[in-house]
Chain A
Amino acid sequence: MIENAWLAWLILLFPLGAFLVAGLLGRRLREGGGHVAVGAMAVSFVLSLYLFVQVLAQGGLGGTFPAQTVHGYIWIPSIGGNGVSGNDIEITILLDNLSSLMLVLVSFLCLLIFVYSLGYMHEEEGKPRYYAEVSLFATGMLGTVSADNFLQLLIFWEIMGLCSYLLIGFWYRKPEAASAAKKAFLVTRVGDVLFLAGVLVIWNVFHSFRFEEIVQKIPVLWGGAYTPQLALLIPLFLFGGAVGKSAQFPLHAWLPDAMEGPTTVSALIHAATMVKAGVYLTARSFIFLVPPAALPLEAPTVAILVIAVVGGFTAFFAGTMALTAYDIKRVLAFSTISQLAYMFLGLGAGAWLLTHGGETLGYTAALFHLFNHAFFKALLFLSAGSVIHAVHTNDMREMGGLARHLPITSKVMLVGSLALAGIVPFSGFFSKGEVLSATFEAAHEAPVFYLLYALGVLTALLTAFYTFRMWLMTFHGEYRGQGHPHESPAVMTAPLVVLAGFAVASGLLAYGMNGFGNLVFFGEPHAQMPLVGVPLAEYALEGLTLGVALLGIVLAWSVYATRRIPAERFTAAPSGAFLHRLLSRRYGIDDLYDAIGAKAVAGLARALDWFDRNVVDGVVNVVGRGGLAAAAGTDAFDRRVVDGAVNALSLETVRASWRLRQRQTGQVQTYAWMVVFGIVIVIVLVVGVSWFLRLQRGG
């Protein structure tokens, strides 16, 4: 049992309070309420840490820790229809290994990034709006990872989506930012609709949204309401939501454009937290993917393979697009997509392993990668923000040689790059290696995983290459821009240094914790695991990953630093130039989406226009001609007989109307007043008459 578990509510309520304070009073506060947001986040972090330490003491370090729910209130009481009762929808916080770890992770990163924002956003307008929105976002993310049921998860998930939209469009006067925000919202919406469909199916089958109750009901309902088809459909729907939120192929197109927002937003939402929600959701959907081994249930193998294949493919696909990007933030955005895809690959492989022999390696590795990636990618984004702050451009072609001007930033970014590339002993090495090992393990039974493993290793090469391309183009060589860049203030570099520390240490944390698996499993305990799974036992696999990463760095060094391999020679060849164009245009997928939107909508409009002109107008014309002929006949009669009488009448009518139309001012609100007066008169009449009648009858 956790003491003072009710404090979990305060973790959510403090950022929510900061949202209200910054939003309503931010204009009167210093820094637009930034200090309030930082303070609230600090409280959330301390409370999360307090709960996490208890969880760690009771279950995280071996032993079993059962999930604990912190009851809130009944939101929708059961109406008891359909012979079902006792299925109230309750707002409840779930505290288990996974959620308490995520709470600490999220609140810690939010805190660091909020502090950094104090420096980064210092000169911006609209700071109250910024701090209100990021605080609301923090509430959404903390709520997502602590939700006890799928409905609550969906609600907080949508809050995050809203905040992502608002913050991408923070500079809403810039057309690119406005359209990027719209794109992000619409593309993720596709996934969200699938997620919603999944949640509805879950309700229909289980009459409950709670993870715990669903787990209990799965064996009972199997074969009845819970058919194998649904067992396949539900995880696929949930994964659809994850694909949208985590920007996996084919819904990846929004994340690179989302870089139009402030860099802090990219670091917070589009690298460290929100995009991880998809991975978190997929991890939670393991209750569907991996039925308890003791029960004779079929695992939805197809869904598992879909997750793994989408992950493996997206990792490679996004990695290639990062090769040609010149915008420092877009390189990182593509890399985020690619690294998230690693996590999905790990989850897919993990689910496969769990259903074929019960090894926990893949699942643990994927969440370990989530944990590590959150630190080093936030670090990279914030470093990029520090660079952008100094040179006022995102284009790496106008940077170079900044290591001299930005000594701290360049060093911490090097740490982040090494972690991303997966060099021992930086954190990326451990988790990425474990994800790939898990994929290799899974391949013993399903050869398709060999292909995914190969893609994963190739991606590791690409990752190391583009990461160091980015670092070298930014910090090495001569400065190609204008002006004199300066190092950022301490309020920005301090979070960077802290994050750099974590980028080194977070990989080693698992060693001190009796295995990372203890921290992330929920439901059935999987304690006492060696380190991360296979503890570097597969030295050959780890060595291969490391070697490939080193090869990537050497390649980047020889292309961008010593220029021994000139990049121009590659793009000069026709096939190379074609490839470069293809990658720069992101495989044309964004163009395709735009074209589908434009062509389909415009085509429909043209078809309707044609229908209007030819069919509707034709009918109208025929009717009109008939009317014309009839009119000619009556015309003669009309002129002689009727007109005389009418003319006199009409003359009077014209005079009367002239007076009346003075009243028609064209002011709609005048009309509205008249309507209101009319209604009041009618009400008075009705009430008065009925009162009068009653008076007569009664009196």
Chain B
Amino acid sequence: MIPLAYELLLSALLFCIGLYGVLARRNGIIVLMSIEIILNASILNFVAFSSYSGNPSGQVFALLGIAVAAAEAAVGLAVFLSIYQTHGTIELDKVRFLKW
């Protein structure tokens, strides 16, 4: 049995990696991947606590989270695809048409 603290630390680490990616990377796909990492960090928390407390409903939530993540990735990629088709780039600092 892995101690709960290790799993939480791993999850926090993943969260920070993901947060760093979201804030600092310019490529939209990588930002999307980083968001997935953040999501997975939270899913890991679900699983960790579920295994710690012996309550399986956390695992159900984890599965739900994975399904949502898949849908989110599909929508996100579709958005980037159409941004790419209209603007020819997915560099986030070049995509600045959503402003006054």
- Footprint of B on A, CB under 8 Å? 661-662, 664-669, 672-673, 676
In the complex, what residues of B have CB within 8 A of residue A669's CB?
Answer: 22-24, 26, 31, 92-93
In the complex, what residues of A have CB within 8 A of residue B5's CB?
Answer: none
A190 to chain B, nearest CB (A): 19
Contact check, A667 vs B22: say whether CB atoms are below 8 A apart. Answer: no
Is B97 engaged at the interface, CB distance under 8 Å to the other chain?
A: yes
Contact check, B23 vs A661: say whether CB atoms are below 8 A apart. Answer: no
A671 to chain B, nearest CB (A): 10
Interface residues of B in 11-38 (CB under 8 A from A): 19, 22-24, 26, 31
Give the complex CA separation of A190 and B23 in angstroms.
40
Cβ-neighbour of A661 out of B19, B24, B31, B100 (below 8 A):
B100
* 17 A/B residue pairs, CB under 8 Å, sorted by A: A661-B99, A665-B96, A666-B95, A666-B97, A666-B98, A666-B99, A667-B93, A667-B96, A668-B95, A668-B98, A669-B23, A669-B26, A669-B31, A669-B93, A672-B23, A673-B23, A676-B23
The verdict on A664 contacting B100 (CB below 8 Å), with A672-B22, A673-B23 known, is: yes
Give the complex CA separation of A668 and B27 in angstroms.
12
Q: Which residue of A lies closest to B22 (CB)?
A: A672
Q: Which residue of A lies closest to B93 (CB)?
A: A667
- Chain B contact residues: over half helix, strand or loop, or mixed? loop
Contact check, A664 vs B23: say whether CB atoms are below 8 A apart. Answer: no
Cβ-neighbour of A666 out of B24, B26, B31, B96 (below 8 A):
B96
Count of A-B residue pairs with CB < 8 Å: 30
B34 to chain A, nearest CB (A): 10
B76 to chain A, nearest CB (A): 12
* Interface core residue of B22, B23, B100 (most chain A CB under 10 Å): B100
B18 to chain A, nearest CB (A): 11
B53 to chain A, nearest CB (A): 14
B96 to chain A, nearest CB (A): 4
B47 to chain A, nearest CB (A): 13
Give the complex CA separation of A662 and B100 in angstroms.
8
Interface residues of B in 23-82 (CB under 8 A from A): 23-24, 26, 31
Q: Which residue of B lies closest to A668 (CB)?
A: B92
In the complex, what residues of B have CB within 8 A of residue A661's CB?
Answer: 99-100
In the complex, what residues of A have CB within 8 A of residue B31's CB?
Answer: 669
B35 to chain A, nearest CB (A): 10
The verdict on A676 contacting B93 (CB below 8 Å), with A664-B99, A665-B99, A666-B98 known, is: no
In the complex, what residues of A have CB within 8 A of residue B96's CB?
Answer: 665-667
A136 to chain B, nearest CB (A): 21
Give the complex CA separation of A665 and B95 in angstroms.
10
In the complex, what residues of A have CB within 8 A of residue B95's CB?
Answer: 666, 668
Give the complex CA separation of A506 and B37 in angstroms.
51
Cβ-neighbour of B92 out of A662, A664, A667, A673 (below 8 A):
A667
Q: Which residue of A lies closest to B54 (CB)?
A: A79
Q: Which residue of B lies closest to A662 (CB)?
A: B100
Give the complex CA separation of A666 and B98 in angstroms.
5
In the complex, what residues of A have CB within 8 A of residue B24's CB?
Answer: 669
Top 5 closest A-B pairs, CB basis?
Answer: A666-B99, A666-B96, A661-B100, A666-B98, A664-B99
